[in-house]
Amino acid sequence: MSRVIDIHGVNFSYGSVPTLTGIDLEVADGEFLGIVGPNAGGKSTLLKLILGLHKPQSGSIKVLGQAPHLASRLLGYVPQYPSFPRDFPISVEQVVQLGRLGIDRNGRQSEGKWHALRPRRLSSGDREAVQRSLEEVEASDIAKRQIGSLSGGQLQRVLLARALVSDPRILILDEPTANIDQRMESEIFDLLKSLNDRMTILVVSHDVAFISRYVSRVACINRTLICHSTDNIDGKVIQDLYGEHVRMIAHSH
Ligand SMILES: Nc1ncnc2c1ncn2[C@@H]1O[C@H](COP(=O)(O)OP(=O)(O)OP(=O)(O)O)[C@@H](O)[C@H]1O
């Protein structure tokens, strides 16, 4: 199977303290990878390096065979829930339309850098893609609602639709189910599982036991990174990662 992400010997720090050290990670096309680790372990930072939002101080990152900033329009990104401004006056439909910014009128990825993209009139192709994405996440019925009026679960579905509307090769989600109830969490992960038939997925989560039901491999990050097949995750792996005081989580396959 071909690889879509190749990370070798990456070191990154925001200041003098290293955030990520000696990171190696290869992700195969079609994989569903979970990313777990303690708070401040570097999970979001790793995603931002893959998205081309930060550059490593050393080491190499290739995404779909290119430098991350060149591949970024082939990636769909669902940011961490609290970073989204809920009170912004914009409808669900308009949020999803924003995901078409990097696509030209003929449905192709436009050339040039993100910051050079100009808003343009929506084409019929754009409208159809927005409708399809909203249907896929089962949010068509709330298309005209203001985002400030949505529940946490509904908002996550809308952000997922925005990421899907550009037809990404890789979908990257940063804790998509933080702050939502368990039933909604299962519904979103069932949806991700079906999307995984056509795209590679990377998802950050705090709940190792829960995501192990869905993903095939888990990348454990606490400044350094170690990958485990979900078959091999046990109490020891989790304690090593999170420290001595963590409750043992039942885990079965
Ligand atoms: N823009 C930034 N400038 C300076 N330090 C940062 C910045 N972003 C993150 N950090 C620091 O880098 C470290 C790793 O942060 P990161 O957000 O990657 O961790 P995380 O594993 O995603 O954490 P959490 O589970 O709490 O979301 C933390 O100590 C954080 O304070």
Q: pLDDT at residue 42 above 80?
A: yes
Residue bearing the bigger pLDDT, 109 or 207: 207
Respond yes or no on whether ipTM tops 0.85.
yes
State the sign of the Cα–Cα–Cα–Cα dihedral 20, 23, 28, 29: positive
The predicted pLDDT at position 244 comes to 52
Residue 248 domain flag: no
**Span 225-252, average pLDDT:** 64
Q: Which of 64-78, 96-110, 115-129, 232-246 has the highest mean pLDDT?
A: 64-78
The predicted pLDDT at position 164 comes to 96
Q: Whose CA is nearest to atom 11 of ligand 1?
A: 40
Residue 250 domain flag: no
Any idea what the CATH number is for the domain that residue 155 is in? 3.40.50.300
Residue 249 domain flag: no
Counting atoms of ligand 1 from 1, which one is nearest the CA of 45?
18
**Span 245-253, average pLDDT:** 40
Residue 86 domain flag: yes
Residue bearing the bigger pLDDT, 6 or 231: 6
Q: pLDDT at residue 227 above 70?
A: yes
**Span 72-98, average pLDDT:** 84
How far away, in angstroms, is 46 Cα from ligand 1 center?
10
Q: Which of 75-84, 103-112, 175-184 comes out lowest in average pLDDT? A: 103-112
**Ligand 1 neighbours (beta carbon < 6 A):** 14, 19, 37, 39-45
Q: pLDDT at residue 252 above 60?
A: no
Residue 113 domain flag: yes
Counting atoms of ligand 1 from 1, which one is nearest the CA of 15?
4
The predicted pLDDT at position 178 comes to 83
Residue 247 domain flag: no
Q: Which of 16-30, 143-157, 232-246 has the highest mean pLDDT?
A: 16-30
- CB-count exposure of residue 163 (10 Å: 0-12, 13-18, 19+): buried
Residue 253 domain flag: no
Counting atoms of ligand 1 from 1, which one is nearest the CA of 37?
21
The total domain count for the chain is: 1
How far away, in angstroms, is 231 Cα from ligand 1 center?
29
Q: pLDDT at residue 75 above 70?
A: yes
Name the token pair of 198: 């056509």
The predicted pLDDT at position 53 comes to 93
pLDDT above 90 coverage of the chain, percent: 60
The predicted pLDDT at position 102 comes to 67
What does the chain look like in DSSP terms, one character per residue? --EEEEEEEEEEESSSSEEEEEEEEEEETT-EEEEE-STTSSHHHHHHHHTTSS--SEEEEEETTB-HHHHGGGEEEE--GGGS-TTS--BHHHHHHHTTTTB-TTSSBPSS-GGG----PPPHHHHHHHHHHHHHTT-GGGTTSBGGGS-HHHHHHHHHHHHHTT--SEEEEESTTTTS-HHHHHHHHHHHHHHTTTSEEEEE-S-HHHHTTT-SEEEEEESEEEEEEGGG--HHHHHHHH-TTPPP-----
Q: Whose CA is nearest to atom 25 of ligand 1?
A: 39
Measured in degrees and rounded to the nearest 5, phi and psi for residue 227 equal -95, 140
Residue bearing the bigger pLDDT, 82 or 69: 69
Residue corresponding to tokens 């909604």: 184
* Residues spanned by the domain of 136: 3-242
Residue bearing the bigger pLDDT, 83 or 199: 199
Question: Judging by DSSP bridges, how do beta strands 170-174 and 32-36 pair with one another?
Answer: unpaired
The predicted pLDDT at position 109 comes to 59
Residue 42 domain flag: yes
Q: pLDDT at residue 138 above 70?
A: yes
**Span 180-202, average pLDDT:** 93
